[in-house]
Structure 1
Amino acid sequence: MVSRLAVNGGDALRTRPWPAWPQPAPGVAGAMADVLGSGRWSISGPYRGTDSYERRFARAFAAYNGVPHCVPAASGTAGLMLALEACEVGAGDEVIVPGLSWVASGSTILGVNAVPVFCDVEADTLCLSPDAVEAAITERTRAIVVVHLYSALADMDPLLRIAERHGLPLIEDCAQAHGATYRGVKVGALSTAGTFSMQHSKVLTSGEGGAVVTRDAHFARRVEHLRADGRCLSATLPSPGAMELVETGELMGSNRCLSEFQAAILTEQLTILDEQNETRRSNAARLDGLLGGLGLRPQTTSAGTTSRTYYTYAVRLPDGVLEDVPVTEVTDALTAELGFPVLPCYAPIPANKLYAPHTRRRYTLGLTHEERIDPKRFALPVCEGAARRTVTLHHAALLGGEEDMGDIAAAFAKVLRHGAELVH
């Protein structure tokens, strides 16, 4: 039989290029040049008589999220670790976290010597299940981390009630949700703290970077100390040439600071975030209709969501179709048709080959601890089902136009129509 699928040597459905990512805002080049000639490339450099870009971005991002405090950080991972430690999570404490997420959601908890307790997710939103959280709480639970995954927001109302009832801090991991709102409030502002990633693939990026936002001044001060070797920014501006970071001795920290170059990029990229998010939302709605008509099930979001951010477009394959074909073969076929990466959704963290505590000696803290962090002890049937049947597209594809969405739908239709070619 002559193959009709590009993955098997047929003609690809599309050869035109897709929108590039990242896309620099108009002011980025000028801001970078400003930092380059400023004599200050870091907040740990000498004060030069003007606000650092780090301070400028912190103010802008706090205002954007409707909170009084933002502490930039070197990465999303750093931000989450800072937030956990600011909540005084430490050795042996249990932290509840969804089992379906990027591997850092688990390894970051290990990084503060705590124990990740992986919980199952809701089948439609792929976000943390409140019922699973309630069942997982023990006397050792010290915090809950909720991830707003792909393009969905977790069901925050019951999660907030659970956290309040048990006296637990709730941290929102908003690495994939910059600008999304729940009941009109920006994510990250709903809980004890919100953490963000500005890694290369994110909708707001400086290549690497992160931030912690909060309404709590004491919490923000702890985060400041934790990210700058135990120092915090001075309440009063110093003389030019002096250090702006003050050695208070309040709390020991590490160096997890954002550079001035990254802060300058983020300050400018923030000015175009809402416009880009609106383009993605419009195209995602169009794609929902096209793919839904083919029997696929786009990821939904919780009832309280008032505005979605599309970091990744996730869709579940139709029931009864290609069920004997590994999802990686389906995504390879779609990628070959589109010339754009289509990927399976994340593997459940306990089954992810990147999550391997036994490969690092720093986690060998005794037999009991090693048993508690053993990923094999977690059964997550909803996460596992989603991983077998869900495929994803990066948000760059959603920055195209109506014709681009039509091409995506046509590629899915072609692969579904000729799926017999993938059955061995």
Structure 2
Amino acid sequence: MAKLALQGGPPVGSFTVPSWPRAAENALSNVQAVLESGRWSVAGNWQGGPSAEGRFADRFADFLGAPHCVPTMNGSSALVIALEALGVGAGDEVIVPGLTWVANASTVLAVNATPIMADLDPTTLCMSPAAVEAAVTERTRAIVVVHVYSSVADLDAILAIGERYGIPVVEDCSHAHGASWKGRRVGTWGAVGVFSMQERKLLTAGEGGAVVCRSDDLHDRLFQLRSDGRRPEARPVLGGSELTFDGSVIGANYCMSELCAAVLEAQLADLPEQNRHRAENAAVLDRLLANLPGVTPVAASPFVTERTFYQYTARIDREVFGGVSAATVARALAAETGMPFQPPYDPLYRHPLYRPLTKRRFLIEGLDPGRLTGPAGGLPETERAHREVLTLHHSVLLAPNDAFEALPSAIEKLQREAASLSDIESAGAEFADSR
């Protein structure tokens, strides 16, 4: 019997995770140009040419096939202005997935609305259309669909629900820069598309965000909401501001810095090739796992014509791993291979960072505080996914194609030593209970 690496035994392999983020070829020269320009913010004095932020907005919109793009300082601010632009506010409800990053709930709270959490489709891990429709009430003002990990939600079904009830759909594409549904980029199907460029994302400058849309009116409103209510100056004067004080809504300063935009403009050029490499290695992992019992890669919908991989995901049959959770299998696989396996997000309603009752500003008059904490009985498919799904960050998929050969042997070792896995999980539970 081979002792597990978690128990001090020799690991099966030693994988070297490629570094992330990695600077694109032109990133340094783009930043240098901004540093020397005398304009580090879109609110700075106009120097006679397009801003770095404006260039990135145009190029990202072209990449997606969207008429308009409004860059923001991060993905959370992009979600806030998307909701505000659609008129979401106090007393409203917004349907969000039960399996997603905490910002999808906290940004709804930030506009004084209530996040209503919907269960997921077990085949994609994205929101289930049936669960979305069941969550619609007379207070629903938006549906935020997240294309999570390496999947695209069933856009046809969810958009049809939105149209049936007159509810706009927000696409959160923070995991899906470059993915396509039926030949068209995600982010361009709903009323607005939202992106994060935080450090772990497929396209990053450390931070950053963007909202894309088709409507001229929505674009005008989005621009003002992120620019303290200001609009672009039609005829800027050299050395003067490129933003006017002519606005129709109150906004906030969510502008992207010129330095961030300069980095993103360079990174965008590398994104298609990086996405291609990731998809190629995801196919390698699919083949390696194909003949192994108890591990099934999460498949894409047949309508996904270009798939991106923020996280590679696979579902385990817990019985062949001694009944343990995905969290324990992830720890053991990481120890055996050096690959950073992890379980998915905690269900949103019990995510350690989701603490709505700690801020009084979320407790609007007439609202039952219990409604902010999520569904009383939980969401069964979301809970099951948390127990059964393994994830791998996309940086792993930038490795050489032959770097994954040890993985099947590691999985087989864990299955042979399932009793040891159970002991590890029990010991971990006892330790947690004793703290």
TM-score, length basis structure 1: 0.96
1:350 and 1:378 in contact (8 A); partners too: no
* Letter paired with 1:123: P
1:358–1:3 distance in 2 versus 1, CA, 3 Å: farther
Matches for 1:313-352 after TM superposition, within 5 Å: 313-322=312-321, 324-352=323-351
1:337 and 1:411 in contact (8 A); partners too: yes
Alignment of 1:176 with 2:212, yes or no, is no
Select 1:292's aligned residue among 274, 290, 293: 290
* Letter paired with 2:24: A
2:93 and 2:142 in contact (8 A); partners too: yes
Task: Compute the RMSD of aligned alpha carbons.
Answer: 1.5
Moved over 6 A (4+): none
Q: Distance in 1 between matches of 2:407 and 2:84?
A: 43
What secondary structure does 1:199 align onto? Answer: coil
Matches for 1:110-189 after TM superposition, within 5 Å: 110-189=109-188
Q: Which residue of 2 aligns with 1:243?
A: 241
What secondary structure does 1:158 align onto? Answer: helix
Q: Distance in 2 between matches of 1:303 and 1:86?
A: 33
What secondary structure does 2:211 align onto? Answer: strand
Q: Which residue of 2 aligns with 1:363?
A: 362
Q: Which residue of 2 aligns with 1:283?
A: 281
- Tell me the CA shift for residue 401 of structure 1: 1.9
- Tell me the CA shift for residue 420 of structure 1: 2.1
Q: Distance in 1 between matches of 2:143 and 2:202?
A: 25
- Tell me the CA shift for residue 323 of structure 1: 5.2
The more displaced of 317-326 and 390-399 is: 317-326
1:352–1:399 distance in 2 versus 1, CA, 3 Å: same
Q: Which residue of 1 aligns with 2:262?
A: 264
What secondary structure does 1:235 align onto? Answer: coil
Q: Distance in 1 between matches of 2:339 and 2:285?
A: 16
- Tell me the CA shift for residue 262 of structure 1: 0.7
Q: Distance in 2 between matches of 1:336 and 1:419?
A: 15
Q: Distance in 2 between matches of 1:274 and 1:30?
A: 21
- Tell me the CA shift for residue 411 of structure 1: 2.9
What secondary structure does 1:41 align onto? Answer: coil
- Tell me the CA shift for residue 12 of structure 1: 2.2
Q: Which residue of 1 aligns with 2:303?
A: 304
- Tell me the CA shift for residue 204 of structure 1: 0.3
Q: Distance in 1 between matches of 2:232 and 2:27?
A: 25
What secondary structure does 2:281 align onto? Answer: helix
Q: Which residue of 2 aligns with 1:43?
A: 42
The more displaced of 247-256 and 169-178 is: 247-256
- CA distances 1:382-404 after superposition (whole Å, capped 9, x unpaired): 00000001111000111112222
2:121 and 2:381 in contact (8 A); partners too: yes
The more displaced of 265-274 and 320-329 is: 320-329
Q: Which residue of 2 aligns with 1:354?
A: 353
Identity, in percent, stands at 46
Q: Which residue of 1 aligns with 2:428?
A: none
What secondary structure does 2:402 align onto? Answer: helix
- Tell me the CA shift for residue 319 of structure 1: 4.8
What secondary structure does 1:127 align onto? Answer: coil
Q: Which ranges in structure 1 are unaligned for 5 or more consecutive residues?
A: none
- Tell me the CA shift for residue 202 of structure 1: 0.3
- CA distances 1:165-191 after superposition (whole Å, capped 9, x unpaired): 111110100000000000000000111
1:224–1:369 distance in 2 versus 1, CA, 3 Å: farther
What secondary structure does 1:377 align onto? Answer: coil
Q: Which ranges in structure 2 are unaligned for 5 or more consecutive residues?
A: 424-435
- Tell me the CA shift for residue 3 of structure 1: 5.5
1:225–1:364 distance in 2 versus 1, CA, 3 Å: same
TM-score, length basis structure 2: 0.94
What secondary structure does 2:217 align onto? Answer: helix
